[in-house]
Amino acid sequence: MTNMLLKLNKYFFLVLAICLFVSAAIIENGLLSLHPEERLIADFQEQLIADENRLEMNLKDISRIINEDDYWGELNDYLNNNNLLLEKEGVGFLMYFSGELEYWSDRSLSFYDSITQFENLDGFVKLPNGYYLVQSLQVDSADILGLQLIKRNFYYENKYLKNIFLEKYNLPEDYDIIENKTEKLPHIFNKNGEFLFSILPAGQYLCTTKQLYYPGIIYLFGLFILLFYFRKEFVESTASFFLKLFALATTLFVVYWLHLIFQIPKVFFHLQFFSPEYFGLSNWLPSLGDYVLFAMFFFFWMYNFATDLDIQELHEDSKLSRKFVITLLLLFAASLYLLVNYYIQKLILNSTLSFSFNKITEISAQSVLGIFAVGLLLLAVLFFTIRINLQAKNDFKYLEFAGIVLLIVVFLALIQLISVHKIYYTVLVFFIVSANLAILFGKNYLQKFTLSYLIIFVSVTAIYSLLIIYHTTIVKERGHQKLLAVTLVAEHDPAAEVFLTEIQEQIRVDENIMQLLFEDRDKAQERIENYLLETYFNSYFRKYIVDIWVCYPEDKLFRPEIGDTLDCFPFFEDLIKSQGIQIQGTDFYFMDNMNGRISYTGRLKYSSEGSIFINIDSDLLFEGIGFPELLIDKSMMKPDDYKKFSYAKYYGGELTDKYGDYNYNSYVDRYLELSSDDDFSFITDQEYTFKKWDGMEHLIYNTREDNYVIVSRELFTIVDYLISFPYLFVFYFLSVMVLLLIGSKSIRKRRVNFDLKFKIQAAIISIVFVSLLVVALATIFYNIDRYKTKHRNDLDEKMKSIAEEIDMRLEAVNEITDDLQDWMDNELTKLSNIFRTDVNIYGNDGSLISSSRFEIYNRGLVSTRINAQAYYEILGNFQISYFQPERIGELSYLSAYRPIVNYRGDYLGIINLPYFIRQDNYSQEISTFIVAFINLYVLLLLASIIVAVFISNQITRPLVVIQENLQKMELGKQNKPIVYSRQDEIGSLVKEYNKKVEELAISADLLARSERESAWREMAKQIAHEIKNPLTPMKLNIQHLQRTKGEGKEYNEYIERVTATLIEQIDNLSNIATEFSNFAKIPTARNQVFKLAEQLHKVLALFETHEDVSIEFNSNGLENLMVHADREQLSRAIINLVKNGIQSVPETRKGKINILLNRREHMAVVSVSDNGTGVPVELREKLFSPSFTTKSSGMGLGLAIVKNIVENFSGKVWFETKMGKGTTFFIEIPVYSEEKQIS
């Protein structure tokens, strides 16, 4: 039973890891089974029926409300109270009277104006922006429709428009809805069993991403437990160190290889972390998740390598010089620095993530994972280097060590120059710093403060991480600058190309153009130009200069740039042939003319008799109006990284286009003339030139002659590093603490000491933290509210100005008629350009009359009806103005409404300003402020922690001094008083302490005097007794000699015998004096590191000539056990014990002395056993006290000397004895430790 429990305990972590893996696999199999859609679709069907029932209840409530006379107010109140229902649940209501729309709850439904346009009034319906479940209820002449959004279905997708199911349906985003009844696909029915639509479970995602995290997390826990088991086996194994290290590396490699080749576990490969979306380098590092796994395995292997590294064992196994082995290990460590630096750079360069902590809002969960991996790599090599240096510091003098490190650095620098023609100075400096950290750590004062060392350890890692991250980010951003510069040379407008494709389809079927082309040739140019501009090239193309030419075979075209006329057809044909790149499916061409503008040319052929050519050039310095990101597909969008740059385009040396916050000069010559004499920094890379000025780095790209593109980015400053350091330091510190808690049993068992210093620090930091948090939250919310107010006031000012312009034109109008349509379209376009906002006008029935951006409505993003709440507030509650937050997809914005009133006070319509044009800037302003405040908050918090530590140290320093003095206080020694001049509570305590010190000194003197007198009296008695013992026989022998005067042989023999006796007694007196002298004065210890077993062999060699005693020594395999002590004094103690053992053996038995060397944890134990008579009970308590007996047992002052020597080494001595069988003396002294273990 006991053996079974031991085996279970041994394999507990392995069994636990297997159980976790099996559990995760079962969950994974359930999620990724062959037919997971059956469960998902069953849940979806159940939820859809529940929504159908709720929709039916809502329709009954609305029907009850509209039966009342004045139902508008109550209906709006009902819908407002259920606002969350409309927003979150995707529910909307429509009311049709006599087939025509009279009421709508939500304009985001993109509904129809007539009920006859609906294909189905009960069941499933597809609207321009989504799939809906529809139910209807007829009340008299009113038809009430309730719509439940199932899945959005926009014409295209981008970051604001996403074709996804409503969240509550829990279906993956790549499942699709099929309107027809397809036999092989799952069918969805309503509560009456009628078919609605089919579901196509296509794509790679078989379940929602949130569900996939559950087995993934369990797999990770299992992996951690498995690594813990590997560590346990590594420590307990008795195999060779190199063999264990190789076996561990092979195991980790096989695990990683199986993971990649067989995609184990499969659930990982369905998560974005394990896709190339964020990072991809090679087949071995194809994703961010794999990079983190690699970093974890590398750290784990290096941790085992470093923790169990024994240079002495390597030295003996390899038969190489110890110093040479250390040098090889240092070279290996330095090489790892270069390898780790390489992989960190690759992570930053080959990822789409931001690692700039100075812009904390750009940091994502994926960025944090990447930073964690970077930390693991750096901590692994740093820990390994320090461990090597800690073991090596006793083999090298500091100058020798510094020389070795310098030679390694020079060698690696040469290797870098030869291989990559570049030296990574930061890596080499990091290696030098980490190597010297070990030397500092070897000092005693640092060994006492492991937390201080940990802070230094983490600080160095954080500083280096910042340096490498920001340096590599600069390299990455320079690459983006180059790419953007090349892109801008031949810049396309994705939105314009989408609109041109749509315009092409409309123009092909437009009969009016053909009629205008051949009806009256003399007026064709003007009529066609006006018609095309008003019908097709309004709205979005107002940012372009649109020129239209009608060309007949005989027409000439005057070109001012050459001052001559050219044939119309050949000119445009040659232009298109030489510069045009056709937009697929259209008769429009992108013109690659490098003139600093975005240019398109269209060729509309109607017959051999006539054609229309349309030239479209971007307006110079036109800053776009509106929100083009909302109008184009995500595949055509520029990367978000480009938004952080400013750029300018120069054609013929003059500014033609610019973007961003930087204020560019109108002429490029200013920038070309800058030189290093103007204190500007230059970096030239072939055709690219980098210059620095105004806190920016500018890429100047010369495309041809006087055509330039300048791309600018902000430089990193010292403030960016200061802001980033606290984030990185705290993150690394917490990560290291977690790793230590997981990997170190001693730290887990260590109790936190809540001393006074800790309480003061905790109190100060808590007060500051809470105060700063309250102030921060109050300030942030106040400023957010202030920004909202400012945003609203800006919108209100624009609304007032625009309303004034429109009211002036319409004040004499009774109603808005079709005759005013052209004027309004043109007027709204002008006002939109002037006030930088889109403008809509709705009629009194809530329908859209005119807009500066019809594309939003033509594409069905929202309906052409006004916001229902705004409509009710303006026409129902007669509000002068009304502001309403609105959404289009994921884009939130503020919208303003104001009535148009003529001079008689009649309402003509409603002006609407959807302010999503400035929404991005507004959001950026808020996020910029929040980031700046958070950065300031973190810096203040870090400063408060430093101040708290300083203050607590200042407050507790006198208490620490008192504590240290109390610890040092001893009777018989001079105890120094504490100097403290302040008159406070601690000052009173110090005064009392000093007073007690004085009293103690007096008492100690009196006690010492009394003890000395008593001791000397006792000593005098002992000495007198010991002296009398030899003196009495001496006196008797001399007296007998006097009585037996005479001559002869017998007398001479008697004199010789007496003389010998006298000499023997005199020697005894001399030995007594010598022992007393040795006891009184023991020389100062001169400690050094040496092998204990080796020294014991030398001591025992002194007793090899003793024939009557056999001496045996057993080192128990501890030949390499090192201690830090005085060789001579330790030898003296062992010799004393051996002599005492020899003397304790009676003459009747053969003497036998056994010496054993053992180890108990961090202590070395030497035992000296004899087979003597043992120690009598009455002598055992005073065995180590000074005793001057001269009995044959040899128990004199020698044992007192042994005790003093051992205690000088922070050791202890004791004995065990059995009367008649012998005595064993034990000496215990600390084993030499190369470093103070953190764990």
Given the candidates 3.30.1490, 1.10.490, 3.30.450, 3.40.50, the CATH classification of the domain at 39-200 is 3.30.450
- Same fold across 496-622 and 795-920: yes
Residue given tokens 């405040």 in the structure block? 933
Amino acid at 532: L
Strand partners, 104: 94
CA distance to 953, 966, 969, per residue, from 956 (Å):
5, 15, 20
Q: What is the pLDDT of residue 207?
A: 60
For residue 1184, report the phi and psi dihedrals to the nearest 5 degrees: -95, 5
Q: What is the DSSP string of 46-97?
A: HHHHHHHHHHHHHHHHHHHHHTSSS-HHHHHHHHHHTHHHHHHS-EEEEEEE
Helix (H/G/I), strand (E/B), else coil: 766: helix
Strands, sheet with 195-200, edge to edge from the N-terminal-most edge strand: 176-178, 195-200, 187-189
Task: Tell me how far apart the alpha carbons of residues 761 and 954 are, in angstroms, rounded to a whole number.
Answer: 11
Task: Using the predicted structure, report yes or no on whether residue 1014 has a pLDDT greater than 70.
Answer: no
Q: Is residue 631 within 8 Å of 618, Cβ to Cβ?
A: no
Kindly report, residue by residue over 382-432, the tens digit of the pLDDT: 888 877 877 666 667 777 778 888 888 898 888 888 877 888 888 888 888
Tell me the mean pLDDT in the region 941-956. 76
- Round to whole Å and give the CA distance between 137 and 52: 13
Q: What pLDDT, on a 0 to 100 scale, did the predictor assign at position 1191? A: 47
H/E element holding 392? helix 365-392
With cut-offs at 50, 70 and 90, classify the pLDDT of residue 445: very low
Coil vs helix vs strand at 137: strand
Burial pattern 284-315, b for ≥16 Cβ within 10 A else e, equals: ebbbbbbbbbbbbbbbbbbbbbbbbbebeebb
Separation between Cα atoms, residue 803 and residue 809, nearest integer Å? 10
User: Quick one: fold of 795-920?
Assistant: Beta-Lactamase (3.30.450)
- Name the helix (H) or strand (E) containing 1124: strand 1122-1125
Q: In this structure, what DSSP letter does residue 716 have?
A: P
The yes or no reply on domain 1082-1230 and CATH 3.30.565.10 is: yes
CA–CA separation, 658 vs 648, rounded Å? 4
First CA to last CA across the chain, in angstroms?
Answer: 34
Strand order in the sheet with 1222-1230: 1109-1114, 1151-1160, 1163-1169, 1222-1230, 1212-1218
HEC string of 6-59? Answer: HHHHHCHHHHHHHHHHHHHHHHHHHHCCCCCHHHHHHHHHHHHHHHHHHHHHHH
Q: How far is CA 325 from CA 863, 939, 1097, in A?
A: 78, 45, 28
Tens digit of each residue's pLDDT (9 = 90 or more) over 1097-1122: 888 877 776 777 888 888 887 888 88
Residue 310 has a pLDDT of: 67
CA distance 786 to 1151: 98
Q: How far apart are CA 233 and CA 243, in angstroms?
A: 13
Question: What share of the chain has pLDDT > 70, as a percent?
Answer: 81
| Element housing 611 (H / E) | strand 610-618
- Cβ atoms within 10 Å of 891's Cβ, excluding its own: 18
Report helix, strand or coil for 890: coil
Judged against a pLDDT cut of 70, whether residue 573 lies above it is answered with: yes
DSSP-assigned letter for residue 1097: H
Question: Do residues 894 and 795 make contact, with C-beta atoms less than 8 angstroms apart?
Answer: yes
Average pLDDT over residues 86-103: 84
d(CA 1214, CA 1226): 5
Which residues are paired to 139 by β-bridges?
142
Mean pLDDT, range 149-164, rounded to an integer? 87
Q: Which of 734, 727, 640, 776 is nearest to 356 (CA)?
A: 727
Cα separations (Å) of 16 from 13, 225, 267? 5, 7, 20
Helices of type H across 973-1086: 985-1043, 1049-1080
Q: pLDDT class for 1033, splitting at 50, 70, 90?
A: low
* Widest Cα–Cα separation across the chain: 178
For 454-512, the pLDDT digits (tens) are: 777 888 888 889 999 989 998 898 888 888 888 787 777 877 888 888 888 888 788 88
pLDDT in the model for residue 1203: 83
Pick from 664, 711, 546, 684: which is nearest to 613 by CA? 546
881 confidence band (pLDDT: 50, 70, 90): very high
- Mean pLDDT, range 319-330, rounded to an integer: 74
The one-letter amino acid code at 552 reads Y
Nearest residue to 337 via CA among 280, 281, 413? 413
How far apart CA 257 and CA 300 sit, in angstroms, is 17
Q: Residue 307 corresponds to which tokens in the numbers above?
A: 């923790």
Q: How confident is the model at residue 51 (pLDDT cuts 50, 70, 90)?
A: very high
C-beta of residue 941 within 8 angstroms of C-beta of residue 768: yes
Dihedral angle, C-alpha 950, 954, 955, 961, nearest 10 °:
130
Alpha helices for 139-240 (secondary structure H): 209-236
**pLDDT one-digit tens code per residue, 758-791:** 777 778 778 877 887 888 788 878 888 887 888 8
Given a contact cutoff of 8 angstroms between Cβ atoms, the answer to whether 914 and 867 are in contact is no
DSSP letter for each residue of 252-263: HHHHHHHHHHTT
Q: What is the pLDDT of residues 897-940, one digit of tens each?
A: 999 998 888 999 999 998 875 556 666 677 777 777 777 777 77
Distance CA 543, CA 539 (A): 9
Beta strands at 1109-1114 and 1151-1160: parallel, antiparallel or unpaired: parallel
Average pLDDT, the chain: 80
Q: What is the pLDDT of residue 640?
A: 67
Please state the domain extents for the chain: 39-200, 252-487, 496-622, 795-920, 985-1073, 1082-1230
Region 520-540 average pLDDT: 81
Task: Report the C-alpha gap between 31 and 8 in whole angstroms.
Answer: 33
Residue 1105: per-residue pLDDT? 65
Q: Are 625 and 838 in contact (CB under 8 A)?
A: yes
Q: Which residue has the higher pLDDT, 163 or 610?
A: 163
Name the band, by pLDDT with cuts 50, 70 and 90, for residue 315.
low
Segment 224-277, tens digit of pLDDT = 888 888 888 887 777 877 888 888 899 999 999 999 998 888 888 878 888 888
User: Does residue 699 register a pLDDT over 80?
Assistant: yes
Most confident of 539-548, 769-778, 1125-1134, 1220-1229: 1220-1229
In degrees and rounded to multiples of 5, residue 1153 shows phi and psi of: -115, 125
Q: Which of 904, 914, 871, 900 is nearest to 806 (CA)?
A: 900
Highest mean pLDDT among 45-54, 808-817, 974-983: 45-54
Amino acid residing at 319: K
Task: Give the pLDDT of residue 1082.
Answer: 55
How far is the C-alpha of 253 from the C-alpha of 145, rounded, in Å?
A: 63
Q: Say if residues 605 and 863 touch (Cβ distance below 8 Å).
A: no
Map residue 657 onto helix, strand or coil.
Answer: strand
CB 902 within 8 A of CB 813: yes
Q: What are phi and psi of 860, to 5 degrees?
A: 70, 25
Instruction: Please answer whether residues 226 and 22 qualify as being in contact, where contact means their C-beta atoms are separated by less than 8 angstroms.
Output: no
Q: What is residue 1167's three-state secondary structure? A: strand
Q: Which residues contact 701 (CB under 8 A, 6 or more apart)?
A: 482, 485, 486, 489, 687, 688, 689, 708, 709, 710, 711
Angle at which helices 821-835 and 521-535 cross, to 10°? 60
Whole-number pLDDT of residue 535? 81
Give the CA radius of gyration of the chain: 47
Q: Of the spans 293-302, 660-669, 845-854, 1213-1222, which averages the highest pLDDT?
A: 293-302
- Please give the pLDDT value at position 1192: 42
pTM for the model stands at 0.69
Total residues belonging to the chain? 1239
Question: What does the pLDDT average to over 1136-1164?
Answer: 85
Instruction: Give me the CATH code for the 496-622 domain, please.
Output: 3.30.450
CB neighbour list of residue 184: distance below 8 Å, 6 or more residues apart: none
Give the span between the Cα atoms of 638 and 1062, in whole angstroms: 114
